Amino acid sequence: MDNPDDVTVFRMGPGCDLSDVGEGKVYIGRVQGFANFGTFVQLNDRVKGLVHKSNVKTTHKERETILVRVRTIRPNGNIDLEEVTYPVYTVEMVERKSSSVLLAELSGKVGKTVMIEGEIAQIKQTSGPTIFTIVDESGTENAAAFVEAGVRAYPEAELEDIVRIVGEVMLRNNQVQIEVESLSILSGSEEEEVKERIETALEKRAEPEDIPLLVESAVLQKLQPAMRKAARIIRKAVFSAQPIILRHHADADGICSAVAIEQAVTALIRESGGDFDADYFLFKRAPSKAPFYEIEDITRDLDFALKDHIRYGQKLPLILLTDNGSTEEDLPSLKMAKVYGLSLVVIDHHHPDEIVDQYLAAHVNPYHVEGDFGITAGMLGTEVARLINPRVEQYIRHIPAIAGFGDRSEAPERARYHELVRETYTEEDCKNIALSLDYEQFWLRFNDGREIVKDILGLTANTVRHKGLIALLVEGANAAIEDQMNACMPHVRQQTLQNGAELFLLDVEIHAHKFTFPPPGKTSGEVHDRLCRKNVGSPVVTIGFGPDFAVLRSRGVMMNIPKMVRELRDEIPGGGISGGGHLVVGSIKFVEGMREEVLKGMIEKISRVPAGF
């Protein structure tokens, strides 16, 4: 047995190659395999040699650690080794003195072996290799490591680890990918240095460009800091390969706000690297039936997110809420998201409750800067989308006008947004597109209809299909609305309130068609619009109600529906009252047995608020 007083044994780092091996030096190796003439030993994943059977001192198994001395390095690169054993020795690392390559530079290094440093953003086990999605300060790319088909490579590597990878840059399906030769997890000062480098660069990359608003607006001008903050969080999620789930109210305004952001985010995902279909599995858009984030919604989102986290090694998502998320009704879902450590961003124009802000990373709402619901979610979403990715502006600049007409906004911003696209989209065009969105979403139910919705909004190059689809959907929607109005208008009851307002009541449960378009909320809105046209100059309130709900529409009556709901909840014990919405447009839920008491209390409160123009 060799037994000198002081022995130094070298461990080769993952970036080292044959040029880093020295004759006469002792290295820590790993048994790779056996042959009749000896044992193959790896000094690292890139360098191996042979211990001739005459120089093997003990019996070994595959992957077992062994100490070997380099006898000779032959001209053809073969390394002759001999086994040595020491009871005590000092280990010294051999590191290749080369700098890492940025992921953004890989496209110019196809066929070359490189070293990269970054954070693991996803670990996906395929039927073949293990795919590590790596993020550094410049972008996102995949690294494929193979042990054997379907077997997890480098099982010690986990999500969010900082790693150093050495491998050859290859093209797979026209996409850059690193074929991993070695992967090591960094720790200590090395880990902190890379992590800090990535974080600093991500913060800088995530900062939105300084661009002007599409239209002149004092309210939107004041909202710019909040919009920039929201855009910054969303951009950082994209650059760090964090999934995004976007929830929106399932009406034209909610769809417009969500689709504008969808176009910006998916384009940015494609630009920043990753899989060819990353814009589908890193971004999901889903409609919410209610104008708030329901428990059913967060439960669905968590279920999918946790499954993706386990099955595909994805990070937990950023939750983005548009046209909902600002009120007390959102609290149960926001609290559940907090339990799982999820970040939430809200872009909404419903009257906000201050209590929700403690659960949000960013909150864009016109009421925070003395605006109101006339600045629609579609307008806000489009401005935020431009900050996320300015290159999509030409495709989405018509969306705020559609949202404004669809949500019946009377704010001056609606006309300004429409002026931008008037030559292409008339007022009637905008209204028809908004109606088509409402109609199609009714049949889509909980599905996003990503490609159909893009056709409706004219976001595809097929203008013939867009126009034909709008004509067909408008015809179907108007026919359904007319049929519904013929059924329910004769059953509307009217009374004049003490404040001079005309109140109209309709039981949509027994005097309207069920399970078809338009649903109760839109049915009540259509009834209200017709009654307003019949009562020009008079303040009008319309209540469409069912066994356990009521939908309110108002013109010229200065009520505060969220406040009214909170007061009724306290004043009617056992009513099971909840709800909200805008100040003069909203809905309320209650238990069926207390319907008469709730309606009576609601009408009494409406009669006491100021009415008139």
Residue ending a domain, among 38, 72, 94, is: 94
CATH code of the domain covering residue 517:
3.10.310.40
> Under a CB-based contact definition with an 8 Å cutoff, are residues 416 and 216 in contact?
yes
How much is the pLDDT for 390? 97
The owner of tokens 């499954």 is: 307
Quick check: is 613 in a domain? no
- For 184-223, what is the HEC assignment? EECCHHHHHHHHHHHHHHHHHHHCCCCCCCCCCCHHHHHH
How much is the pLDDT for 99? 67
How much is the pLDDT for 134? 94
Quick check: is 2 in a domain? no
Q: Do both 70 and 125 map to the same domain?
A: no
How much is the pLDDT for 172? 83
Q: Do both 118 and 197 map to the same domain?
A: yes
Which segments in the chain show pLDDT lower than 70?
Answer: 1-5, 14-15, 96-99, 273-278
Q: Do both 226 and 351 map to the same domain?
A: yes
Structure tokens at 450: 């990503």
Question: CB pairs under 8 A, 24+ apart, for 143-147?
Answer: 143/116, 143/167, 143/177, 143/178, 143/179, 143/180, 143/183, 144/172, 144/177, 144/178, 144/179, 144/180, 145/180, 145/183, 146/180
The number of distinct structural domains making up the chain is 4
Quick check: is 185 in a domain? yes
How much is the pLDDT for 18? 86
Residue ending a domain, among 70, 94, 118, is: 94
Q: Do both 70 and 153 map to the same domain?
A: no
Q: Do both 594 and 497 map to the same domain?
A: yes
- List the beta bridge partners of residue 493: 505
Quick check: is 348 in a domain? yes
The residue ranges of DSSP E strands in 407-512, in sequence order, are: 493-496, 502-507
Cα(7)–Cα(178) distance, integer angstroms: 37
CATH code of the domain covering residue 75:
2.40.50.140
Domain of residue 111, residue span: 103-204
Structure tokens at 487: 């059924």
Quick check: is 444 in a domain? no
Q: Do both 307 and 195 map to the same domain?
A: no
Q: Do both 230 and 364 map to the same domain?
A: yes
Cα(236)–Cα(268) distance, integer angstroms: 11
> Under a CB-based contact definition with an 8 Å cutoff, are residues 542 and 553 in contact?
yes
How much is the pLDDT for 362? 98
Q: Do both 230 and 358 map to the same domain?
A: yes
Q: Do both 259 and 395 map to the same domain?
A: yes
pTM for this entry = 0.82
Quick check: is 500 in a domain? yes
Quick check: is 434 in a domain? no
Q: Do both 376 and 240 map to the same domain?
A: yes
Q: Do both 271 and 334 map to the same domain?
A: yes
Q: Do both 193 and 258 map to the same domain?
A: no
How much is the pLDDT for 598? 97
**354: CB partners within 8 A, 6+ apart:** none
CATH code of the domain covering residue 417:
3.90.1640.30
Name the burial class of residue 536, with classes exposed (0-12), middle (13-18) and buried (19+) by CB atoms within 10 angstroms of its CB: exposed
How much is the pLDDT for 143? 95
- Sign of CA pseudo-dihedral 595, 598, 604, 609: negative
**406: CB partners within 8 A, 6+ apart:** 251, 252, 253, 256, 378, 430, 431, 433, 434, 435, 437, 438
Quick check: is 468 in a domain? no
How much is the pLDDT for 343? 96
